[in-house]
């Protein structure tokens, strides 16, 4: 690993609000716990978790430029809420800024908000750690926390279901990757 957990946390810190940084530290701890349990590379899990919300407060127009200009970023992101952009855009910003080149970590950061069709174990762990870290208070999160102790896929399915239901009830759009992720767990 070219970057340590501490280096990754120090890198993101000035880009985040204090409460968001605290969330990030909790996601790191949660991701390490899940990585140990499900036999995923702990170093990758803690770096991906430390970096996952790096672009959370980036200017919307700056993120839009990245989506337009980097051909690896799916253009359909522009048709959906900008809240979804910080994962995929953040991953490629980090590639450029700190030379992040670990494809597994880039994938996990990219897909942490929406999930995607083919999720690796690391993708699932970062997605789930973000959802169940102890500071989260979503309806149904306790059931997902409990399930995460025994069944990674089922816990992801529950988290995706809750997110889809929440978005539909609010009358918001759902990015197709969220459905693709959900369907893959059925
Ligand atoms: O960045 P965090 O707050 O830690 O968590 P996150 O990256 O999961 O972002 C959560 C936000 O993204 C929340 O407002 C719900 C929204 N979201 C998640 N999936 C989708 C979504 N919004 C839309 N429109 N479509 C989705 O599929
Ligand atoms: Fe996020
Ligand atoms: Fe997060």
The CATH number assigned to the domain holding 169 equals: 1.10.3210.10
Global pTM reads 0.97
Q: Which residues lie with the beta carbon below 6 Å from any ligand 1 atom?
A: 23, 53, 56, 80-81, 83-84, 112-114, 130, 163, 167, 172-175, 178
Q: How many domains does the chain have?
A: 1
Question: Per-residue pLDDT tens for 127-180?
Answer: 999 999 999 999 999 999 999 999 999 999 999 999 999 999 999 999 999 999
Domain that holds residue 20: 5-185
Mutate to test the pocket of ligand 1, among 80, 83, 117, 130 (most ligand atoms within 8 A of CB): 83
Beta strands in the chain (DSSP E): none
Between CA 49 and CA 27 the distance in angstroms is: 6
Taking CA atoms, 185 is separated from 37, 114, 152, 163, in Å, by: 19, 14, 10, 14
């Amino acid at each position: 690993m070219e970057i340590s957990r501490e280096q990754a946390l120090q890198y993101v810190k000035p880009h985040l609000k204090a409460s968001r940084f605290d969330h990030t530290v909790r996601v790191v701890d949660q991701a390490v716990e899940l990585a140990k349990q499900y036999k995923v590379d702990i170093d990758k899990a803690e770096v991906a978790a430390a970096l996952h919300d790096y672009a959370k407060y980036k200017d919307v127009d700056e993120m839009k430029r990245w989506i337009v200009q980097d051909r690896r970023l799916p253009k359909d992101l522009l048709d959906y809420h900008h809240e979804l952009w910080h994962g995929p855009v953040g991953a490629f910003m980090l590639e450029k800024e700190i030379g992040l080149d670990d494809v597994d970590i880039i994938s996990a950061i990219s897909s942490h908000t929406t999930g995607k069709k083919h999720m690796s174990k690391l993708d699932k762990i970062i997605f789930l750690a973000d959802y169940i870290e102890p500071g989260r208070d979503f309806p149904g999160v306790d059931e997902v926390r409990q399930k995460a102790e025994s069944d990674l896929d089922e816990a992801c399915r529950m988290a995706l279901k809750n997110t889809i239901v929440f978005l539909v009830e609010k009358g918001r759009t759902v990015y197709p990757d969220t459905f693709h992720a959900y369907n893959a767990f059925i």
